[in-house]
């Protein structure tokens, strides 16, 4: 079915090969005791939350000399940092998705990068990013203060998915939205060509969290038009699909046992990524997420079981599949 609008969800994960210390070509992860590779994926999803395919992926190993250099990040341009992966994936996706299709790049707070906001985009290409920096806006205010001064436009109920020992619960969210002019970072004010950006900002905050629970807060920055509560709720709904990319990476590493066996050849890596996408598609096929979470009759297979069954009945191809299998 033809899609008029596609959500392009980006995320990064660690591929930890610590159980294979003799494997060559790996790099450090969060500390020197963890060795493996970094994987950055862009998953295409319909506006109804149905996975459509993999649009882009980047995989790399960190050189050992880069460990401990995080305090030098502000002095280096984005193109020389791992942060460039967000910009690269956006540019690649714009080239691979037809120009007649509207695309919305969705990412968590790791992608709160001014250069990503300022990156030239083709017509019909938008961003929807969760903010983490309390950026300067207008002339004397900051992002959080500016948004909390806006009146509440409405409320909605958000279902928080179960995490480890925390059960599923409902959160009543208050929604504010505004169009703000975001200033460049102070450390880069002297850079030529770096101009303030006018973007839409949406703040969704839990009004009265239960005792013992931390309030849920989403602060989103977007280039999409937001002139009504309906527009803001649509953006919040689309951002809620970000869990699909986390599920994809989880299935790749656990259900597909990607990091527990021998290091994969490139063509086998592509096969495992395709397999993980199939599992995500299967798990999202139930009529509602609530039904899927409860484990309705006929849908009680876990991601690991589904992946195991597929692996038992198939073998990785001997040639690398074309991009047509991913998109």
Rounded distance between C-alpha atoms, residue 22 and residue 3, angstroms: 46
For the cut 90, the answer to whether the pLDDT of residue 165 exceeds it is no
> Pairing state of beta strands 51-60 and 217-222?
unpaired
State the pTM of this model: 0.80
Rounded distance between C-alpha atoms, residue 110 and residue 240, angstroms: 16
User: With 0-12 CB in 10 A as exposed, 13-18 as middle and 19+ as buried, what is 202?
Assistant: buried
**Burial letters for 113-126: b for 16+ Cβ neighbours within 10 Å, e otherwise?**
bbbbbbbebeebbb
DSSP code, position 51: E
> What CATH number does residue 287 fall under?
3.90.350.10
DSSP code, position 25: S
Residue 157, both tokens:
């109920």
pLDDT digits (tens, 9 = 90+) for 94-120: 889 999 999 999 999 999 999 999 999
Of 119 and 208, more confident: 119
What integer is the mean pLDDT of 143-152?
95
Number of structural domains found in the chain? 1
Rounded distance between C-alpha atoms, residue 213 and residue 190, angstroms: 43
What range defines the domain where residue 46 resides?
Answer: 5-325
- Lowest mean pLDDT of 138-142, 155-159, 172-176, 177-181, name the range: 138-142
Instruction: Check if the beta carbon of residue 131 is closer than 8 Å to that of residue 220.
Output: yes
Q: Which residues pair with 37 in a beta bridge?
A: 15
For the cut 50, the answer to whether the pLDDT of residue 313 exceeds it is no
Instruction: Check if the beta carbon of residue 160 is closer than 8 Å to that of residue 270.
Output: no
DSSP code, position 75: G
> Which of 261, 252, 265 shows the shortest CA–CA distance to 310?
252
Q: What is the mean pLDDT of the chain?
A: 79
Instruction: Check if the beta carbon of residue 103 is closer than 8 Å to that of residue 93.
Output: yes
What integer is the mean pLDDT of 58-62?
80
pLDDT digits (tens, 9 = 90+) for 223-275: 999 999 999 999 999 999 999 998 888 887 776 666 665 555 545 566 566 66
The per-residue pLDDT for 300 is: 45
């Amino acid at each position: 079915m033809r899609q008029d609008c596609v959500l392009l969800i980006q995320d990064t994960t660690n591929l930890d090969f610590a159980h294979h210390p003799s494997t060559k070509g790996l790099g450090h992860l969060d500390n020197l005791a963890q060795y493996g590779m970094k994987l950055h994926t862009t998953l295409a999803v319909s506006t109804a939350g149905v996975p459509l395919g993999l649009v882009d992926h980047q995989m790399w190993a960190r050189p050992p000399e880069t460990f401990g250099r995080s305090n030098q990040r502000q002095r280096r341009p984005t193109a020389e940092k791992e942060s460039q992966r967000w910009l690269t994936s956006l540019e690649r996706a714009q080239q691979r998705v037809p120009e007649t299709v509207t695309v919305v790049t969705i990412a968590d707070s790791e992608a709160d990068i001014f250069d990503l906001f300022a990156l030239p985009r083709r017509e019909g290409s938008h961003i929807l990013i969760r903010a983490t920096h309390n950026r300067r806006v207008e002339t004397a205010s900051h992002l959080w203060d500016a948004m909390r001064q806006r009146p509440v436009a409405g409320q909605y109920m958000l279902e928080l998915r179960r995490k480890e020992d925390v059960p599923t619960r409902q959160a009543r969210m208050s929604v504010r939205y505004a169009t703000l002019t975001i200033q460049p970072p102070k450390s880069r004010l002297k850079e030529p060509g770096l101009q303030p950006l006018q973007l839409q900002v949406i703040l969704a905050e839990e009004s009265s969290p239960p005792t013992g629970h931390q309030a849920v807060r989403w602060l989103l920055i977007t280039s999409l038009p937001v002139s009504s509560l309906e527009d803001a709720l649509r953006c919040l709904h689309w951002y809620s699909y970000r869990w699909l990319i986390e599920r994809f990476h989880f299935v790749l590493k656990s259900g597909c046992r990607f990091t527990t066996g021998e290091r994969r050849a490139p063509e086998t890596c592509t096969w495992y990524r395709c397999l993980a996408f199939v599992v995500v598609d299967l798990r999202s096929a139930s009529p509602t997420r609530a039904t899927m979470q409860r484990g309705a009759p006929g849908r009680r297979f876990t991601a690991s079981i589904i992946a195991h069954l597929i692996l038992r009945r198939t073998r990785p191809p001997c040639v690398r599949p074309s991009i047509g299998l991913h998109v």
